[in-house]
A and B are shown apart, each in its own frame.
Chain A
Amino acid sequence: GESVGLHLPTLSVQEGDNSIINCAYSNSASDYFIWYKQESGKGPQFIIDIRSNMDKRQGQRVTVLLNKTVKHLSLQIAATQPGDSAVYFCAENPRGSYIPTFGRGTSLIVHP
Protein backbone atom coordinates (compact mmCIF):
# COMPACT_ATOMS: atom_id res chain seq x y z
CA GLY A 1 0.00 0.00 0.00
CA GLU A 2 0.91 3.68 0.14
CA SER A 3 3.66 4.82 2.46
CA VAL A 4 3.70 7.98 4.51
CA GLY A 5 5.73 11.02 3.63
CA LEU A 6 8.06 11.38 0.69
CA HIS A 7 9.28 7.80 0.43
CA LEU A 8 8.30 5.69 -2.53
CA PRO A 9 5.68 3.02 -2.00
CA THR A 10 7.54 -0.25 -1.54
CA LEU A 11 6.63 -3.82 -2.34
CA SER A 12 8.74 -6.58 -0.80
CA VAL A 13 8.43 -10.11 -2.13
CA GLN A 14 10.26 -13.40 -1.93
CA GLU A 15 12.06 -14.76 -4.96
CA GLY A 16 9.68 -16.94 -6.94
CA ASP A 17 6.52 -15.16 -5.80
CA ASN A 18 4.32 -13.23 -8.18
CA SER A 19 4.35 -9.43 -7.84
CA ILE A 20 1.57 -6.99 -8.57
CA ILE A 21 2.35 -3.30 -8.88
CA ASN A 22 -0.55 -0.89 -9.13
CA CYS A 23 -0.96 2.53 -10.65
CA ALA A 24 -3.88 4.94 -10.68
CA TYR A 25 -3.94 7.38 -13.57
CA SER A 26 -5.78 10.64 -13.66
CA ASN A 27 -6.60 11.55 -17.24
CA SER A 28 -9.62 9.80 -18.74
CA ALA A 29 -8.41 11.00 -22.15
CA SER A 30 -5.25 8.89 -21.93
CA ASP A 31 -5.16 6.16 -24.53
CA TYR A 32 -1.66 4.75 -24.29
CA PHE A 33 0.05 3.42 -21.18
CA ILE A 34 3.57 2.21 -20.53
CA TRP A 35 5.39 0.52 -17.69
CA TYR A 36 9.05 1.36 -17.14
CA LYS A 37 11.64 -0.27 -14.92
CA GLN A 38 14.39 1.86 -13.44
CA GLU A 39 17.35 0.24 -11.73
CA SER A 40 19.50 2.23 -9.36
CA GLY A 41 21.71 4.69 -11.22
CA LYS A 42 20.20 3.95 -14.62
CA GLY A 43 17.62 5.39 -16.95
CA PRO A 44 14.08 4.00 -17.27
CA GLN A 45 13.74 0.89 -19.40
CA PHE A 46 10.59 0.05 -21.35
CA ILE A 47 8.85 -3.11 -20.11
CA ILE A 48 5.43 -3.31 -21.72
CA ASP A 49 2.73 -1.05 -23.10
CA ILE A 50 -1.00 -1.19 -23.68
CA ARG A 51 -3.51 0.84 -25.64
CA SER A 52 -6.88 1.83 -24.24
CA ASN A 53 -8.75 -0.50 -26.60
CA MET A 54 -7.28 -3.46 -24.71
CA ASP A 55 -7.80 -4.76 -21.16
CA LYS A 56 -4.80 -7.04 -20.94
CA ARG A 57 -1.49 -7.58 -22.62
CA GLN A 58 1.11 -10.20 -21.88
CA GLY A 59 4.85 -10.24 -22.35
CA GLN A 60 7.56 -12.49 -21.10
CA ARG A 61 6.80 -13.00 -17.39
CA VAL A 62 4.91 -9.69 -17.31
CA THR A 63 1.24 -8.87 -17.78
CA VAL A 64 -0.36 -5.44 -17.83
CA LEU A 65 -4.01 -5.02 -16.93
CA LEU A 66 -6.00 -1.90 -17.71
CA ASN A 67 -9.28 -0.99 -16.03
CA LYS A 68 -10.55 2.15 -17.69
CA THR A 69 -13.67 2.31 -15.52
CA VAL A 70 -11.66 3.05 -12.40
CA LYS A 71 -8.58 4.39 -14.22
CA HIS A 72 -6.31 1.73 -12.87
CA LEU A 73 -3.30 0.01 -14.34
CA SER A 74 -1.40 -2.92 -12.92
CA LEU A 75 1.79 -4.75 -13.74
CA GLN A 76 2.06 -8.39 -12.81
CA ILE A 77 5.46 -10.05 -12.71
CA ALA A 78 5.47 -13.84 -12.55
CA ALA A 79 8.13 -15.78 -10.65
CA THR A 80 9.85 -12.63 -9.45
CA GLN A 81 13.64 -12.73 -9.49
CA PRO A 82 16.26 -10.66 -7.61
CA GLY A 83 17.07 -8.97 -10.91
CA ASP A 84 13.55 -7.57 -10.95
CA SER A 85 14.41 -5.35 -7.97
CA ALA A 86 13.97 -1.79 -9.20
CA VAL A 87 11.58 1.14 -9.21
CA TYR A 88 8.64 0.68 -11.54
CA PHE A 89 6.85 3.63 -13.12
CA CYS A 90 3.64 3.76 -15.05
CA ALA A 91 3.21 6.47 -17.65
CA GLU A 92 0.11 7.66 -19.50
CA ASN A 93 -0.17 9.45 -22.83
CA PRO A 94 -3.26 11.57 -23.39
CA ARG A 95 -4.83 11.10 -26.80
CA GLY A 96 -3.00 13.20 -29.35
CA SER A 97 -0.04 13.89 -27.07
CA TYR A 98 3.40 12.37 -27.35
CA ILE A 99 4.42 13.54 -23.91
CA PRO A 100 3.94 10.88 -21.22
CA THR A 101 3.01 11.75 -17.67
CA PHE A 102 4.86 9.57 -15.19
CA GLY A 103 3.51 8.27 -11.94
CA ARG A 104 5.52 8.45 -8.76
CA GLY A 105 6.87 4.92 -8.90
CA THR A 106 6.89 1.81 -6.74
CA SER A 107 10.04 0.27 -5.37
CA LEU A 108 10.09 -3.52 -5.76
CA ILE A 109 12.45 -5.40 -3.46
CA VAL A 110 12.96 -9.09 -4.13
CA HIS A 111 14.45 -11.13 -1.32
CA PRO A 112 16.43 -14.24 -2.31
Chain B
Amino acid sequence: NAGVMQNPRHLVRRRGQEARLRCSPMKGHSHVYWYRQLPEEGLKFMVYLQKENIIDESGMPKERFSAEFPKEGPSILRIQQVVRGDSAAYFCASSPPLTSNNEQFFGPGTRLTVL
Protein backbone atom coordinates (compact mmCIF):
# COMPACT_ATOMS: atom_id res chain seq x y z
CA ASN B 1 0.00 0.00 0.00
CA ALA B 2 1.77 3.11 -1.20
CA GLY B 3 1.92 6.05 1.14
CA VAL B 4 0.89 9.60 0.41
CA MET B 5 2.54 10.75 -2.79
CA GLN B 6 3.39 14.30 -3.71
CA ASN B 7 4.85 15.70 -6.88
CA PRO B 8 6.92 17.39 -7.86
CA ARG B 9 9.32 17.02 -4.95
CA HIS B 10 11.08 20.23 -5.91
CA LEU B 11 9.61 23.10 -7.89
CA VAL B 12 11.33 26.29 -8.97
CA ARG B 13 9.28 29.20 -10.24
CA ARG B 14 9.98 32.81 -11.09
CA ARG B 15 7.96 35.57 -9.52
CA GLY B 16 4.59 35.91 -11.22
CA GLN B 17 4.40 32.32 -12.47
CA GLU B 18 1.94 29.70 -11.29
CA ALA B 19 2.79 26.72 -9.09
CA ARG B 20 0.75 23.52 -9.07
CA LEU B 21 1.39 20.99 -6.35
CA ARG B 22 -0.16 17.54 -6.49
CA CYS B 23 -1.05 15.10 -3.75
CA SER B 24 -2.32 11.55 -4.08
CA PRO B 25 -3.68 10.28 -0.74
CA MET B 26 -3.20 6.80 0.60
CA LYS B 27 -5.53 4.18 -0.83
CA GLY B 28 -8.84 4.27 0.99
CA HIS B 29 -8.28 7.76 2.37
CA SER B 30 -10.88 10.34 1.45
CA HIS B 31 -9.60 13.30 3.46
CA VAL B 32 -6.70 15.51 2.43
CA TYR B 33 -4.96 18.30 4.31
CA TRP B 34 -2.41 20.80 3.06
CA TYR B 35 0.21 22.42 5.29
CA ARG B 36 3.00 24.92 4.75
CA GLN B 37 6.31 24.79 6.55
CA LEU B 38 8.88 27.54 6.65
CA PRO B 39 12.49 26.69 7.64
CA GLU B 40 12.82 25.83 11.34
CA GLU B 41 9.12 26.26 11.95
CA GLY B 42 6.22 23.93 12.56
CA LEU B 43 3.57 23.07 10.03
CA LYS B 44 0.83 25.61 9.46
CA PHE B 45 -2.56 24.31 8.41
CA MET B 46 -3.88 25.66 5.12
CA VAL B 47 -6.88 23.68 3.92
CA TYR B 48 -8.84 20.49 4.56
CA LEU B 49 -10.68 18.79 1.72
CA GLN B 50 -12.82 15.78 1.04
CA LYS B 51 -13.66 14.57 -2.44
CA GLU B 52 -15.18 17.51 -4.35
CA ASN B 53 -15.60 19.54 -1.14
CA ILE B 54 -13.57 22.10 0.74
CA ILE B 55 -14.30 21.50 4.42
CA ASP B 56 -12.05 24.08 6.07
CA GLU B 57 -9.89 26.66 4.31
CA SER B 58 -9.32 28.91 7.30
CA GLY B 59 -5.53 28.70 6.91
CA MET B 60 -5.46 29.54 3.24
CA PRO B 61 -4.47 33.05 2.10
CA LYS B 62 -7.49 34.75 0.56
CA GLU B 63 -5.75 35.64 -2.67
CA ARG B 64 -3.68 33.64 -5.17
CA PHE B 65 -4.12 30.30 -3.36
CA SER B 66 -6.70 27.67 -4.22
CA ALA B 67 -7.13 23.95 -3.63
CA GLU B 68 -9.26 21.20 -5.04
CA PHE B 69 -9.78 17.48 -4.59
CA PRO B 70 -11.73 16.23 -7.59
CA LYS B 71 -13.73 13.04 -7.75
CA GLU B 72 -10.97 11.49 -9.83
CA GLY B 73 -7.29 12.29 -9.59
CA PRO B 74 -5.02 13.94 -7.06
CA SER B 75 -5.63 16.93 -4.88
CA ILE B 76 -4.11 20.11 -6.31
CA LEU B 77 -2.80 23.13 -4.45
CA ARG B 78 -2.49 26.02 -6.85
CA ILE B 79 -0.58 29.22 -6.23
CA GLN B 80 -1.00 31.94 -8.79
CA GLN B 81 1.45 34.79 -9.38
CA VAL B 82 3.97 33.43 -6.91
CA VAL B 83 6.08 35.75 -4.81
CA ARG B 84 9.32 35.08 -2.94
CA GLY B 85 7.42 34.74 0.32
CA ASP B 86 5.68 31.65 -1.06
CA SER B 87 8.96 29.76 -0.93
CA ALA B 88 8.40 26.96 1.57
CA ALA B 89 7.83 23.24 1.90
CA TYR B 90 4.23 22.24 1.26
CA PHE B 91 3.07 19.02 2.83
CA CYS B 92 -0.03 17.04 2.12
CA ALA B 93 -1.52 14.57 4.59
CA SER B 94 -4.39 12.15 4.25
CA SER B 95 -6.62 10.31 6.66
CA PRO B 96 -9.35 7.68 6.36
CA PRO B 97 -13.00 8.51 6.97
CA LEU B 98 -12.97 10.17 10.35
CA THR B 99 -12.85 8.14 13.55
CA SER B 100 -12.41 9.25 17.12
CA ASN B 101 -8.74 9.84 16.45
CA ASN B 102 -7.41 11.63 13.46
CA GLU B 103 -4.05 10.18 12.60
CA GLN B 104 -2.81 11.89 9.48
CA PHE B 105 -0.26 10.35 7.17
CA PHE B 106 2.10 12.82 5.54
CA GLY B 107 3.66 12.86 2.13
CA PRO B 108 7.30 13.77 1.48
CA GLY B 109 6.44 17.36 0.61
CA THR B 110 7.06 19.70 -2.30
CA ARG B 111 9.77 22.26 -1.83
CA LEU B 112 8.84 25.40 -3.70
CA THR B 113 11.52 27.95 -4.47
CA VAL B 114 10.52 31.27 -5.98
CA LEU B 115 13.33 33.14 -7.69
Q: Which residues of A contact B (CB under 8 A)?
A: 6-8, 32, 34, 36, 41-46, 49, 51, 89, 93, 98-105
Q: How far is the CA of A45 from the CA of B108 in the complex (A)?
A: 10
Interface pair B33/A42, CB less than 8 Å apart: no
A7-B40, A8-B40, A43-B91 as given contacts; A99 in contact with B45, CB under 8 Å:
yes
Total number of B residues with any Cβ neighbor in A under 8 Å: 25
Choice from B31, B40, B43, B56 contacting A44 with Cβ under 8 Å = B43
Further 17 A-B residue pairs, CB within 8 A, beyond A43-B108, A46-B103? A32-B102, A34-B103, A42-B108, A42-B109, A43-B109, A44-B91, A44-B106, A45-B106, A98-B31, A98-B95, A98-B98, A99-B45, A101-B45, A102-B43, A102-B44, A104-B42, A105-B42
Q: Which residue of A lies closest to B38 (CB)?
A: A6
Q: How far is the CA of A45 from the CA of B91 in the complex (A)?
A: 12
B107 contacts the other chain (CB 8 A): yes
B93 to chain A: which residues have CB within 8 Å?
A: 43
B63 contacts the other chain (CB 8 A): no
CB distance from B49 to the nearest CB of A (A): 12
Contact string against A for B residues 36-76, beta-carbon threshold 8 Å, 1 for contact and 0 otherwise? 00001111110010000000100000000000000000000
Q: Which residue of B lies closest to A93 (CB)?
A: B102
B107 to chain A: which residues have CB within 8 Å?
A: 43
Q: How far is the CA of A42 from the CA of B45 in the complex (A)?
A: 17
Q: How far is the CA of A101 from the CA of B45 in the complex (A)?
A: 8
Q: How far is the CA of A89 from the CA of B37 in the complex (A)?
A: 12
Q: How far is the CA of A32 from the CA of B95 in the complex (A)?
A: 15
Interface pair B103/A49, CB less than 8 Å apart: yes
B44 to chain A: which residues have CB within 8 Å?
A: 102
Give the residue among B31, B40, B105, B109 with the most A Cβ atoms within 10 A. Answer: B40
Interface pair A89/B98, CB less than 8 Å apart: no
Q: How far is the CA of A57 from the CA of B98 in the complex (A)?
A: 22
A98-B48, A99-B33, A105-B42 as given contacts; A46 in contact with B102, CB under 8 Å:
no
List 24 A–B pairs whose Cβ atoms lie within 8 Å, in order of A's numbering: A7-B40, A32-B101, A32-B102, A34-B103, A36-B106, A42-B108, A43-B108, A44-B43, A45-B106, A46-B105, A51-B101, A89-B43, A93-B102, A98-B48, A98-B102, A99-B33, A99-B45, A100-B102, A100-B104, A101-B45, A102-B35, A102-B43, A105-B40, A105-B41
